[in-house]
Structure 1
């Protein structure tokens, strides 16, 4: 039998191991790079664009920037299980990915043209804004791809524990490249023109080759006033182009036929009952509930992390986005050492360490507020650099654990279930909770960041302790020994 990575016929928690086909890992890595380049290009920097277009003002019904960061959780609830069903039973996974990315490219290109200043008077008005509706439709296309790219990768990898981190690390690199490329998008805004004008004026003021003090002062003031926020609509356009490229590329990925094709489809299967049945397993139930609960405090990082770092004037090469991207740089390191960590620590300890990292991150950020100099910047940067442990040890470990526990015919839906519980319900509830918590931590228009960050740190700590006490799954803790295909 030729070398393959198919796990058809495997039972829950087991895989029929073989050697991964040559060239598969690079192909999957390119997929991951583009997948997260698309997200990283616009998602973090979107706040700057919204602020530039008057969409961050708060009204009686909240703010449109809060709505913009809530559409992803809503989409993660609405879409993944049904689209996971399509990939499990009706259509090849690579084709589903291609279609979703191509449709998403069109929506993402249109989104910035729908920006309109204002503040919602009611909660419902948050989600009737044309741009917010467009972003919701886009995220309904994008969020399912997080689970589908994972399930497709595991399908074609002989040893997911060792090989998936190698594939997934290219996603992290893609996110970083997307962040930094979009930081450069300010060159497409009026800032480059302002800099050129100021430079020309400075040169024209020269007398006998010397710059007058007044002219130099005017130039310095002009440069200081330049906006280095990533506020260009091109962040969406570049991401849309990358999404279109990814859509076309997905047609070239290894064919991933639906493992349960031809089986009868019932209402229960459409609702993902087979995937939900995994929750009957006590260990998986504890894992799923802990994942859901810990994502509630995690929402603060995505909703307010950039604003906090920017507000504290923490930058790298003049960009708060650049500073935030150092978290993904640490993620590269931890992703590459994950196979070793799996062998030494096992699933339970890795998940717990991931939760602990969130406690430490928020604790450091809470303590840093009110400090100055290095006592301000060092804890904030340390919190950012913990992202490698925060994300890899929790989310990536969770993907691998889910793949081990699910039967082959429901693995796409199982990954989608976890996306729904974490990126959907967890982050969705968290986004609303942090909106409420922001008002409670604001006095006379000033946000008490210490109070703001200490609360989610405590919440994550409680979840971690409960997880350590309740999670036991010895079968998954046992390492697998790969064997060559016969």
Structure 2
């Protein structure tokens, strides 16, 4: 594997990306099983606990993005936020009461949400030419967190009360503090108010459609996060093996990152250099549309399939969707936004997707799960039919309206530059 940046820079930036998503991956896929199981919380209460991160993402990324664009080095904000976050996670692991847990998780989520766009800022500022080779560490981290948790639970002969996922996330947060302090210096660059310039991007119909559809489709991920662990256990998969089963998605995400973003990934198949990866071959329009369609197909599996093996296999679709929709969406934002407002622009898409989208998706998922419960058992086909229908609409809108064009501006690298591998978006397929 060849890289364009100095090896020390690549390792430092990759460590930030790895630990940023290892922290999230340690608790997000499996905390719902603790809430619905040992803590006996309702679907609505579980939804509110999971809503803390989306709520925080509505405003926290804008605050940290503004600070990083105007005043403070991004790596310092990352270190402080994760240090406070580690303390809050250790505290959350000891709480069994809903109201207290909600408050602690809300404060934790404010800390964590502010770091999400900054991890991307560090990447795009220092290793944009190798973005695919850095992004690949995100799914690897998420998967390894799941497999480590599964191994730990098997050694202990069970998942216990499920609080181990929060303790693991806390330890990883402390490691992230160290990684942030060793990250390359990422100094502020904006001279004007970055939020005003960022909101001006919404005047373009294409970018507006992208943000709205991203908000809708990403919101449906909360059905996946809130329901999948319990769904698998109801289908006969042992609770101790659920983290490993869900980590199949991250294994698929790792492979997808190579083929979607790496340079020369498809040249092995005889394609020319200008079509060297999936993003270059399909462009933003069809890569994002295909990503949404993968989630659509996954929910079709969830509705129609009862085989444990096929349910595990369907996790591959989540991994593919996350790369082609969420990560490629972040790359699209980076391509559209001038360098001086990239932290705030990344904050905007995180606010729309991980913020407003996931918050409303959480509320909807909690309500649907509570209303689709009979005699203490979830009616999963009814539950999964809701995100299936909504993602179908989003996929059709992308296919019919979104063009994926990138305006040329003096502040961003050209669309076909090495710093934006695969972004040859002027050659959209017909």
Distance 1:387 1:331 in 2: 8
Preserved contact between residue 89 and residue 169 of structure 2 (Cα < 8 Å) = yes
Question: 2:341 pairs with 410, 426, 437, which one?
Answer: 410
For the Cα contact (< 8 Å) 2:89–2:166, is it kept in 1? yes
Counterpart of 1:142 in structure 2 is: 112
Structure 1 residues 52 and 257, CA gap change in structure 2 (3 angstroms): same
Given that residues 70 and 431 in structure 1 are in contact (C-alpha distance below 8 angstroms), is that contact kept between their aligned partners in structure 2? yes
CA drift of 1:186 comes to 3.0
* Matched residue, 1:91: 72
Partner of 1:347: 284
CA distance in 2, matches of 1:479, 1:92: 27
- Per-residue deviation, 1:55: 4.1
Aligned to 1:248: 178
CA contact (8 A) 2:65 2:347 kept: yes
Structure 1 residue 66: Cα displacement: 2.3
Q: CA RMSD in A?
A: 2.3
Q: How does 1:422-437 map to 2 (within 5 A)?
A: 422-437=353-368
Partner of 2:242: 320
Which residue matches 1:299?
A: 222
Go from structure 1 to structure 2 and tell me whether the alpha carbon gap of 1:476 and 1:451 turns closer, same or farther (over 3 Å shift): farther
Q: Which residue of 2 aligns with 1:177?
A: 144
Return 5+ residue gaps in structure 2 as ranges: 262-276, 409-413, 420-430
Q: Are residues 1:452 and 2:375 paired? A: no
2:159 aligns to what SS in structure 1?
A: coil
For 1:324 and 1:474, the matched residues in 2 are separated by 34
Partners of 2:88 and 2:108 within 8 A in 1: yes
- Name the counterpart of 1:5: none
1:480 aligns with 2:403: no
Change (3 A) 1:307 1:96: same
Q: In 1, are the aligned partners of 2:123 and 2:131 still within 8 Å (CA)?
A: yes
Q: Equivalents in 2 of 1:359, 1:43: separation in Å?
A: 21
Greater mean deviation of Cα atoms: 130-139 or 237-246: 237-246
Distance, in Å, in 1 between the alignment partners of 2:68 and 2:167 is 28
Show the 5 A alignment for 1:35-434: 35-51=20-36, 53-57=38-42, 62-63=44-45, 65-116=46-97, 129-159=99-129, 163-186=130-153, 192=157, 228-229=158-159, 231-260=161-190, 263=191, 272-314=195-237, 319-339=241-261, 340-368=277-305, 371=306, 376-434=307-365
Give, in angstroms, the shift of residue 277 of structure 1.
Answer: 1.6
Change (3 A) 1:273 1:231: farther
In structure 2, C-alpha distance between the alignment counterparts of 1:230 and 1:325, rounded to whole Å: 20
More displaced stretch, 42-51 vs 340-349: 42-51
Instruction: State the secondary structure of the residue aligned to 1:461.
Output: helix
Q: Check conservation: 2:252, 2:319, Cα contact below 8 A.
A: yes
Greater CA drift, 178-187 or 72-81: 178-187
Partner of 1:206 in structure 2? none
CA distance in 2, matches of 1:172, 1:256: 24
Distance 1:53 1:382 in 2: 28
TM-score normalised over the length of structure 2:
0.86
Measured against aligned partners, the alpha-carbon deviations of 1:147-189 in whole angstroms (never above 9, x if no partner) come to 1101110011242xxx21210111211111111222234368x
How many Å apart are 1:247 and its aligned residue? 0.9
After superposition, give the CA deviation of every residue in 1:242-298 in whole Å (9 maximum; x if it has no partner). Answer: 2112112211111111012xx466xxx5xx333222111221111111101112322
Structure with the greater alpha carbon radius of gyration: 1
Note closer, same or farther for the CA distance 1:142–1:40 as it changes in structure 2 (3 Å cut).
Answer: same
Q: Deviations over 1:424-454 (max 9, x none)?
A: 1111101111222223433444332222212
C-alpha distance 413-257 of structure 1, shift in aligned 2 (>3 A): same
CA drift at 1:232? 4.1
Q: What are the ranges of 5 or more consecutive residues in structure 1 without an aligned counterpart?
A: 1-17, 117-125, 193-227
- Residues matched between the structures, number: 397
- Counterpart for residue 270 of structure 2: none
TM norm structure 1: 0.77
Q: How far apart, in 1, do the equivalents of 2:377 and 2:96 lie?
A: 27
- Say if 1:48 and 1:230, in contact at 8 Å, map to a contact too: no
Please state how far the C-alpha of 1:76 moved relative to its aligned partner.
Answer: 0.8
- Could you say if the C-alpha distance between residues 424 and 475 of structure 1 is closer, same or farther in structure 2, counting changes exceeding 3 Å? closer
Counterpart-to-counterpart distance in 1, 2:89 and 2:372: 34
Tell me the CA shift for residue 38 of structure 1. 1.3
